[in-house]
A and B are shown apart, each in its own frame.
Chain A
Amino acid sequence: MEKKVVIDMHGIVKKYYENQPNELEILHGIDLKIYEGEFVAIVGESGSGKSTLMNMIGALDRPTEGNYFLDGEDVSTLSDERLSEIRNQKIGFVFQNFCLIPRTSAVRNVEVPMMYAGIPGKQRREKALELLDMVGMKERASHKPNELSGGQNQRVAIARAMVNDPSLILADEPTGALDSKTGHLVMDIFHKLHKEQHKTIVLITHSQELAKETERIITISDGNILSDVGGEQK
């Protein structure tokens, strides 16, 4: 059975300071296909271009050249407004430093993507509590980020990433700010999401160890894909 392609990149090039003397090419033409239900790790040293690649995948930025189809839609030429909608609907972000809105309770943080999606208040609250329950944070729904530990915050962030049922969960060093024990707890949630809900997860990390937990490891070096190991349909 042909699996659905979630990420389909063709010759992605990203240049900064384009046409200026200090022009800087970070990605030199990336071709990448990620299928539905895959758990992929993108590994690379710092400066390898993996962060830039993640910005591309996350539709936070547009490539200078090449095409990027996300869920079948070419997002490489979309307007800022449309990109916002794409991020809102199709991508669930999990960041290294959690990126929760300060002084705002966990449940309200989880509601934020639904608010921008225009979901009515009552429905939002229900869904947010449901997802907080899933990550085991329901009891602390009214706590603010500064009242929670790093691991707890990251779990709230995962609940938030799931809330609009995205096609893709994009996790950028999700355990980077956590100790190894809580890091494992967070990774367990990703594994659960992958196994039980068949979510497509892209994990960006510099840690080979973490990458080994996934099904497929893509190594980036100097703005090129160095190796791509473990994918079923490579």
Chain B
Amino acid sequence: MNLFECIRLALDSIKANKLRSVLTMLGIIIGISSVITITTIGNSLQKTISSTLTSLGGTNLITAYVNAVIPDDVDYDTWEYPDMTTDDMLQYEDLMAYKEAFGDKVKSVIANIGLGSGTVDGEETVNVNTMGTTPGMLDANKLTLIEGRDISEKDNEQEKATAVVSDLFVKYACDGNSPIGKQISISLSDGSVLKVYVVGVYQYDKVKLGGGNTKVAEKDISTPVYIPFTYAADQVDDPAMAAIQYFNVLAGEGTDPTQLAQDTTSYFAEHKYKEDTAWEVQCHDMASELGVINTVLKVITIAISVIAAISLIVGGVGVMNIMLVSVVERTREIGIRKALGAKNRGIHLQFLTESVVICLIGGIIGILLGIFNGFLLSKVAVMLIKNFASDIGSMLTVSVSPSLTAIIVSVIFSMLTGIVFGSYPAKRAARMSPIDALRYE
């Protein structure tokens, strides 16, 4: 009697006892489907987060800021955050020197000066938020340039009065006509007026530019107007306003952002903060932050999966219970088979196969159910996010995908459950004496 016969016998027996077989499988189905549901959700979440973050900033984005060095033997009861003077902050020249030193490794260094809100009187009066910036601002925010060009290095070197405006600005202030080459006057809240020439138009993106009040009418939204950093620096009286405490770095093609983040910190420690050791430039890169999020998600997924897997043990005990009952119930069948020439091995294999087949079928149903649940719950989760937090919702790129590893592990695990919990009943069946088994009524 070979394995194939055993599988056929097992399927016959499962068919002959449909209800009991389904009830037996239920434990396995619930166990496996919960593991698969959880891993599917975990996997989907991980993919959604990473694709969303990538679409927002890209994994080559590094966030850097000047921060106080906390001594190694810090005593927080007595340690106080030092006062930051303008000298402690970075200047435009520091960043340019930094960019020079790193060459191709740094695609762009982005720093800005906020000149605050203002208005422009065009066809209609629109609200703007004027910001001095180095080249690469659009890139770093993943904004799309639809006409003209971005603020360039040359604009900064020559302190040119150029500006990049949003498409909303064009729509309301220029009545949709191309503003390229035209001069606009920005009335700032402090009463001063900036006259700048428009060189480019970008597509406004509420989410990428940090949300804002969604209840404001489109016309009244305050959109950023980007002007060269150096030009903006000239407009402010207070040198502290022109000093840089926070900037972004876009890593060059093929540069490891995590390494670049470390190198950036060391660079400033050796140059700007060689003497001024109370301060340093701290960096965070998207790539390693993504890694941390992924690791956390993975750990959570595994932890919950393990808890769900405990239900598999319960399911396995259920299988053992039913198999033991089945052995008693089929004592006569065992006797008949033995009388007709079945060996102990054959009976053992028959009952073990039956238990494995039950668990395997349960496992497969569980996997299908789990994938279905995972899809459903992921979709529901996204729907809820979109309803309650429309800002974040609109930037989610959802990809639901079950974990292949979890599926393979589940199949193996359900078979193992069958083997582990089926062997004792199978052994009992095999050990029965044919005479006693035949007499059993």
- A interface residues, Cβ below 8 angstroms from B: 55, 58, 60-61, 80-81, 84-85, 87-89, 93, 95, 99-104, 112-113, 115-118, 160, 164
Contact = CB atoms under 8 A, between A and B. Distances in A.
B339 A99 contact: yes
Contacts of A118: 1
Interface of B: 1, 5, 12, 16, 332-333, 335-346, 434-435, 438
A93 B5 contact: no
B333 A101 contact: yes
Contacts of B333: 101-102
Query: What 7 A-B pairs come out closest when comparing CB atoms?
Result: A88-B341, A116-B341, A103-B16, A84-B343, A113-B340, A99-B336, A60-B434
7 contacts: A60-B434, A84-B338, A88-B341, A115-B1, A116-B340, A116-B343, A117-B341
Nearest to A88: B341
A93 B1 contact: no
Contacts, number: 60
B117 to A, nearest CB: 83
B72 to A, nearest CB: 75
A181 B400 CA distance: 71
Contacts of A116: 1, 337, 340-343, 346
A88 B143 CA distance: 82
Nearest to A86: B341
Given A84-B342, A89-B341, A61 B336 contact: no
Nearest to B340: A113
B435 A60 contact: yes
Contacts of B16: 103
A115 B339 contact: no
Contacts of A89: 341
B331 to A, nearest CB: 12
Contact of A99 (B1, B332, B343): B332
Contact of B343 (A81, A100, A164): A81
A141 to B, nearest CB: 16
Contacts of B336: 99-101, 112
Contacts of A117: 341
A55 B342 contact: no
Contacts of A80: 343-344
Contacts of A104: 12
B65 to A, nearest CB: 76
B346 A99 contact: no
A60 B5 CA distance: 24
Given A87-B339, A104-B12, A99 B438 contact: yes
A61 B437 CA distance: 13
B344 A160 contact: no
Contacts of B1: 115-116, 118
Nearest to B329: A102
Nearest to B438: A99
B435 A160 contact: no
A81 B336 CA distance: 15
A9 B336 CA distance: 25
A84 B343 CA distance: 6
Contacts of A101: 333, 336-337
A102 B331 CA distance: 12
A226 to B, nearest CB: 24
B438 A61 contact: no
A178 B333 CA distance: 21
Contacts of B339: 58, 60, 87, 93, 99
Contact of A87 (B341, B344, B346): B341
Nearest to A52: B435
B12 to A, nearest CB: 7
A103 B330 CA distance: 11
Contacts of A115: 1, 5
- Looking at B337, B339, B345, the one whose CB has the most chain A CB atoms below 10 A away is B339
A87 B332 CA distance: 17
Given A102-B333, A104-B12, A115-B1, A81 B344 contact: yes
A20 to B, nearest CB: 18
